[in-house]
Structure 1
Amino acid sequence: MTLTPVLSAHWDDADSWTLDGYRRHGGYQALQAALAMTPDDLIALVKDSGLRGRGGAGFPTGQKWSFIPQGGDGPGAKPKYLVINADESEPGTCKDIPLMMANPHVLVEGAIIAAYAIRAKHAFIYVRGEVVPVLRRLQGAVAEAYEAGYLGNGVDLVVHAGAGAYICGEETALLDSLEGRRGQPRLRPPFPAVAGLYACPTVVNNVESIASVPAVVRGGIDWFKSMGSEKSPGFTLYSLSGHVTTPGQYEAPLGVTLRELLELAGGVRAGHELKFWTPGGSSTPLLTAEHLDVPLDYENMAKVGSMLGTKALQIFDETTCVVRAVRRWTQFYAHESCGKCTPCREGTYWLAQIYARLEEGNAAEADVQKLLDISDSIFGKSFCALGDGAASPILSSIKHFRDEYLAHLDGGCPFDPHASTLFAAEEAMA
């Protein structure tokens, strides 16, 4: 297996984030080609390429664009908006921020192409306000694009800083935040394609989805489909972190296996072996060493009961207490719940309490079943996918490591609290 560097091809250039550096490698040529097409033909091109959303669910990008009403812009017609979700904040997910730092112009070019395709005159990039260097780099790239004439002639692009809420990664909560309200999920329908930002037709796409569009336009359908699988074509960024020799971003075809990626990354850290891992961040059901050869695409991950998600591959070796790791994620979801719906608001609170009893050795065997019962009350029953994300690692970890949960009933965590390097620093600060 070989890597397929497209988005990351020139990240190590000294000026990769500048306009000159981007144009030196063909930057904004895709925009010229896109503007020579009709918007409908451009949507058809992206749809036929099979490009799927890189933000988690994997919904076909071109199909999402086609949902936008394509009527005229005459009197009474509502404006259309493009919103790029750069509110990356799930534990383990770390692909969009390095992409925007190293190559912000590919996102700007993709945004202009996408806005032209859906006939939008205004586009927004919603970024986490905490990542100030990324915010400044994006603002600098947008300023360069305006000065060069790529922006301002039909499309305006605004970089908007959020205030640090995980829930704003949910597309309708993001839209509420963008409008100046508290970020909370909306009831659907109506969907954003009908009534999104300012109650107007809106497309919400992930950073990597939009950044992939220029390559699709330049390379064409056959080139894009030459990578990946039939139903999951193309290239994507896999983020390896945790107990791996060489963590980082690995751009490869969809369908690569974790075993292949670990070979490229030098394997699990020396002297240790893989215990469990997440295929797409903390919200996806965790997997074990028996899943090393499952293709990392949308279909095959679903077959083994997980999700590809954001391709955030967190690697944990045998020194990690799975109960303790899942507890940390549960605390995160309890803290980040917006409180709008009862299953998530109350359920995540009580899950965190049970995990505290488990780690302190004050739990009973019935508490393990209680974790399953509460998770079942949350999964598929909360207002948005945050509830599913909180329940998934609990359900999957008990499925694969029930004995380890039961081992906590007599005296608390059987692992040395400082054995796992992933959590030692946090413990030292606590």
Structure 2
Amino acid sequence: MNTPEFTNLEQAAVLARELDQADPLGGWRERFHIPRDDRGGEQAYFCGNSLGLQPKATRAALEADLNMWAEQAVEGHFAGPHPWMPAHEFLREPLARLVGAKPHEVVAMNSLTVNLHLMMVSFYRPEGVRRKILIEAGAFPSDRHATWSQVIFHGGDPEHDLIELAPDPDSGLLDDRRVIEAIEAHAGELALVLLPGVQYRTGQLFDIAGITATARRHGVPIGWDLAHAAGNVPLRLHEWDCDFAAWCHYKYCNSGPGAVAGCFVHERHGRVTDLRKLPRFAGWWGHDAGSRFRMGPEFHATPGADAWQLSNPPILALTPVRVATEMFAEAGMDALREKSEKMTGFLEAMVRRLLAEHVQIITPADPARRGCQLSLRITHPEHSGREVFEYLTGQGIVGDWREPDVIRVAPVPMYSRYDDCLRLVRALMDSL
């Protein structure tokens, strides 16, 4: 993004106002509930990387389900515009567009870590010398816990069978080339590669396509945790040939706390319905839909990602996901990405030009290597990062803190304004 020149906060304020007035997605903010600060004004909300805001349409959709339950009871499985029996099917198209997949390659189910474990049942199959899992050092704790416990479950030793790639000690970033080189160096002993699409602490976007191509070339299964990528950056999971991916919907996808998660399984695996050839845990909702209710004892897997389902979906939890993903389909991921790059670039320019002496941005400067999140480190000799974070919170500016020293802020293109970014920078200047 080529940000127009400005040298002070007043000029930045004029630019923010002009950018908001010209924003083609500016009207989307009105479709969300914006929390209020202690003074009664709207918060400047930069925490969509932790919990997205509530779409106003969610309440009506949930009330429709509650009314259906009250008025129709069990018949609600078959009645109305969104009957419960095929509820997960209504998400196929919008989910597929969200992550760049074919509709039969995606399914909404469970939570993120549960889905990672279910995927590893199928794709982490240590045998012979190929027993190791490659992850990043400093991975989100749940990913590390999941891989660590899977190694133990399969009789391995995490000290030996878990390869953790450490980031550069100065930048805190893990270069894509180092990941590719590590896969090439350890290919003969790797049983799985599991990495984040966007690193939760630094906001770094990995080269999913290039890393996946390397793993596939060496016959190593590869999966992606897209918790901070889904709804944040454009994805092409089918085209990139990923084996599997999992993500949550409560961050950038605005589907509510603990929302039902999403899962991708490439169609080449979805075609394999024989569990002896591709093991998986089985449950009745993964059974072929045509014979599911014959209630027979044998399991016949349905084709596609649906086969990894265990139970029928929780309707009241699935409905907010349907509402939110339909909003993404309407807005268009390309348009959202365009605004994201422009707005995050504006925030970055203000921090670098007005606060460079005391605020360090550890997120990559290249827009192609990040989403909308910027991770800030306070370098002021007299003010700690934690003190600055608490000051921002007191001013109604909501980001989040990650130990030991990072303030994460994410201007989300669906509901954030350029003026929110200005307000954040003004508060940072006041605090320092």
The alignment's TM-score, normalised by the length of structure 2, stands at 0.28
TM-score by length of 1: 0.28
Q: Whose RCO is larger (CA < 8 A, sep 6+)?
A: 2
